[in-house]
Amino acid sequence: MPISLPAPAPVKAGTATHCPYCALQCGMNVAAGETVAITPRDDIPANAGGLCQKGWTAGELLTGGERLTTPLLHGREVGWDEALDFVADRIRAVQAEHGPDGVAVFGGGGLTNEKAYQLGKFARVVLRTSQIDYNGRFCMSSAAAATNRAFGMDRGLPFPITDLARADAVLLAGGNVAETMPPFVRHLATMRERGGRLVVIDPRVTATARQADLHLQPTPGTDLALALALLHIVIAEGHVDEDYVAARTNGFDAVRTSVAAWWPERVERVTGVPVALMRAAVEILAGADRAAILTGRGTEQHAKGTDTVSAFINLALALGLPGREGSGYGCVTGQGNGQGGREHGQKADQLPGYRKIDDPAARAHVAAVWGVDPDTLPGPGRSAYELLDALGTEAGPRALLLFGSNPLVSAPRAGRVAERLARLDLLVVSDLVMSETAATADVVLPTTQWAEESGTMTNLEGRVLLRRRAVAPPPGVRSDLEILRGLAERLGGAEGFPADPREVFDELRRASAGGIADYAGITYERIAAETGVFWPCPAEDHPGTPRPFLDRFATPDGRARFTPVEHRGPQEDVDGEYPLYLTTGRVLAHYQSGAQTRRIAALNAAAADTFVELHPDLAERLAVTSGDRLRVVSRRGETEGAARVNPGIRPDTVFMPFHWPGANLLTNPALDPASRMPEFKVCAVRVERAG
């Protein structure tokens, strides 16, 4: 049933838009008048008439009493002119003393394409700083690095999500879509109803694993070894699609040699997964006419995440899956616009259109659109955690502008991040609520949210969608585009920073033209008429590209590339002092750092606080039962949570959700050398009774 809530006025009624949360970007209608009613749309294939409880209750974000409506300067309510004048003056002072890189920008994977684009442009044209990155670095950057080197292109799913319903088998490694994006499950359910089979790899018996036909439960941090063993079995048992490998790939011989050392009996000792289950997984995949291999954060958020994803891509290539209709490899990305957020300039090393910032031709193209000299554009900056860790140091930025992120909850080793933020000369946070990070800021700028503004989002399929303004924002609240325009005016760069999202998108189209992520042919009108357009779409008469690899891959020779990889253990293994693995993840009721969902009564009623999930054997050793308070300690910090005893987790592992402050006080910021992804998913801890 739709949930009705009080609404602001004036409003539009019955506006077709999209959910504010995950990368499915489920279609929904917002009917607003005396009440706000959320109902699902059935014309968007990703959700096709379904919503999860987060989507159903999203209207409460529009009416909640904790909404920021007035700029704050050192905790004092001020007008917009005073707030923006202060920020601009402090930026000038910091850059006069420390140079352009004295000011940094940190964005978010929930920002619209227009805001992500304008934020990257503002950093490089107005601030002239190289120090910009975003929290999407913590999302699917390892999969992006792996797919770029294998296929020459990074797109979460290089096929429509509806292809999964037509598959005969799906292997999902490190993803719990039943809780993180529940409408996704209907596509897997349709597949299974047709006789298809689902294989899940996860250290926990999650809600998704309970729906699987086969569940492989490895020790945290050993997914790479498991993928190598699966490919070893494929080769040994003659399941390689030799014709496909010869016609469409390069480099298989080196991979064939490298996986010879990872026979299944050896990998059973590394992972704890029985050989019989490995062989059963291969039989399911090899016996399917159409199959897909998907990875999620569980495989990617490691210091070897890029290599782990590469190992699963190698498996998919050996079976001949990528580039075949109804089959393939894909990444189940998480944040609402994690895809578009990096395509158009928030990442430290990228320019709009997924162009590399150190490519002279890319710099020349984008600089021409921006009307600046290419030589004035900065080079690559620090990645997300490296940027946060450098804040306030002698060689690092002294000021930070933060849009749409809450790193005091979401970043690894969050205690150190808090120390770094406290050293800054200036912290400015643009947000709609007083997040944990906003509460520490010198200046807080109240911004519009999902249904109060228009703009485009790019979902996990690479489908560009249109969010439409459905309600008026509270008086005194400005959009991020208006905030950037106001700062640009004060810093001498007002031209080129419009606040109208359509104007920004039209410039984005020109800036992305000819790039890997080419949006040149996508317009607001086309999106509305076609319920989304797949990139690349280089011209307005181009149909868009739902399946980009059918004829060739995006590599120079059109062939996919195998990459030999070797398993290595986690950066921090268990020992006598810290004898347990901690892994982190999400729960059904909440999203990301919880800054939004923890303010919704129905979601808090479903999941009110953090917890520590542990196996009954471990609970017995600790003499605890469900509900008892536990303290979890790592080399970086400690936190507490209520015990939740569950036989579905490994006895050597504990789990904590990261939606509340605490879990990321413990996690390890060790970085993947290619993607710069932190190792969120495994670190060594000890667990003890609290108090």
Q: In a 3-state reduction of DSSP, which class is residue 557? A: coil
Torsion of CA 429, 433, 436, 442, to 10 degrees: 30
Q: Where are the beta strands (DSSP E) in 164-299?
A: 169-173, 197-201, 214-216, 249-250, 291-295
Q: How far is CA 619 from CA 610, 652, 663, 691, in A?
A: 17, 11, 19, 16
Give the model's pLDDT for residue 7: 41
Token duo for residue 563: 């990459």
For residues 495 and 126, the answer to whether their CB atoms sit within 8 Å is no
Q: ∠ CA(370), CA(372), CA(373), 5° rounding?
A: 140
Give the model's pLDDT for residue 63: 87
Give the model's pLDDT for residue 4: 35
pLDDT band, very low/low/confident/very high, at 13 (cuts 50, 70, 90): very low
148 Cα distance to chain centroid: 17
Average pLDDT over residues 5-31: 76
Q: Tell me how far apart the alpha carbons of residues 446 and 24 are, in angstroms, rounded to a whole number.
A: 26
pLDDT at 8 > cutoff 70: no
User: In terms of C-beta distances under 8 Å and separation of at least 24 residues, what long-range contacts does 91-96 make, across chains too?
Assistant: 91/127, 91/399, 91/426, 91/487, 91/491, 92/491, 94/398, 94/399, 94/425, 94/426, 95/127
Mention every residue, 6+ apart, whose C-beta is less than 8 A from residue 395: none
Q: In a 3-state reduction of DSSP, which class is residue 37? A: strand
pLDDT in tens, 402-435: 999 999 999 999 999 999 999 999 999 999 999 9
Give the model's pLDDT for residue 333: 83
Q: In a 3-state reduction of DSSP, which class is residue 632? A: strand
Mention every residue, 6+ apart, whose C-beta is less than 8 A from residue 2: 37, 38, 39, 56
Mention every residue, 6+ apart, whose C-beta is less than 8 A from residue 504: 114, 117, 118, 481, 498
Residue (of 304, 320, 313) closest to 242 by Cα position: 320
CATH of domain 72-138+371-534: 3.40.50.740
For residues 31 and 37, the answer to whether their CB atoms sit within 8 Å is yes
pLDDT in tens, 146-179: 999 999 999 999 999 999 999 999 999 999 999 9
Mention every residue, 6+ apart, whose C-beta is less than 8 A from residue 435: 406, 408, 409, 429, 593, 595
Token duo for residue 375: 């030589």
DSSP run (H or E) holding 561: strand 560-561
* DSSP code, position 389: H
677 Cα distance to chain centroid: 11
Give the model's pLDDT for residue 36: 84
pLDDT in tens, 208-247: 999 999 999 999 999 999 999 999 999 999 999 999 999 9
Give the model's pLDDT for residue 495: 86
- Give the Cβ contact number of residue 326 at 10 Å: 18
Mention every residue, 6+ apart, whose C-beta is less than 8 A from residue 393: 420, 423
For helices 275-286 and 223-236, angle between their N-to-C axes, nearest 10 degrees? 60
Residue (of 667, 657, 671, 656) closest to 634 by Cα position: 667
pLDDT at 10 > cutoff 70: no
pLDDT at 12 > cutoff 90: no
Give the model's pLDDT for residue 11: 37
pLDDT band, very low/low/confident/very high, at 334 (cuts 50, 70, 90): confident
Q: Please write down the HEC assignment for all residues of 324-378.
A: CCCCEEEECCCCCCHHHHHHCCCCCCEECCCEECCCHHHHHHHHHHHCCCHHHCC
pLDDT band, very low/low/confident/very high, at 188 (cuts 50, 70, 90): very high
Q: Is the peptide bond before 536 cis (omega within 30 degrees of 0)?
A: yes
Q: How far is CA 556 from CA 274, 358, 375, 496, in A?
A: 41, 19, 27, 34
pLDDT in tens, 364-397: 999 999 999 999 999 999 999 999 999 999 999 9
Give the model's pLDDT for residue 3: 35
pLDDT in tens, 606-651: 999 999 999 999 999 999 999 999 999 999 999 999 999 999 999 9
Report the topology of domain 141-332.
Dimethylsulfoxide Reductase; domain 2 (3.40.228)
Report the topology of domain 580-689.
Barwin-like endoglucanases (2.40.40)
For residues 492 and 486, the answer to whether their CB atoms sit within 8 Å is no
Average pLDDT over residues 47-66: 92
Exposure of 365 by Cβ count < 10 A (0-12 exposed, 13-18 middle, 19+ buried)? buried
Q: How far is CA 366 from CA 111, 355, 595, in A?
A: 21, 9, 35
Give the model's pLDDT for residue 494: 72
Token duo for residue 625: 């039962």
Exposure of 63 by Cβ count < 10 A (0-12 exposed, 13-18 middle, 19+ buried)? middle
Mention every residue, 6+ apart, whose C-beta is less than 8 A from residue 315: 227, 230, 231, 234, 285, 293
Give the model's pLDDT for residue 552: 97
Where in the chain are the domains?
Answer: 4-63, 72-138+371-534, 141-332, 580-689
Percent of the chain topping pLDDT 90: 93
Give the model's pLDDT for residue 262: 98
Average pLDDT over residues 467-486: 96
pLDDT at 681 > cutoff 80: yes
CATH of domain 4-63: 3.30.200.210
For residues 387 and 51, the answer to whether their CB atoms sit within 8 Å is no
**Taking all residues of the chain, what is their mean pLDDT, rounded to a whole number?**
95
Give the model's pLDDT for residue 6: 37
Q: Tell me how far apart the alpha carbons of residues 227 and 239 are, in angstroms, rounded to a whole number.
A: 15
Identity of residue 616? P
Residue length of the chain: 691
pLDDT band, very low/low/confident/very high, at 330 (cuts 50, 70, 90): very high
Residue (of 585, 513, 541) closest to 300 by Cα position: 585
Q: Tell me how far apart the alpha carbons of residues 103 and 95 are, in angstroms, rounded to a whole number.
A: 7
Give the model's pLDDT for residue 127: 98
- Give the Cβ contact number of residue 205 at 10 Å: 17
pLDDT band, very low/low/confident/very high, at 493 (cuts 50, 70, 90): confident
- Give the Cβ contact number of residue 404 at 10 Å: 30
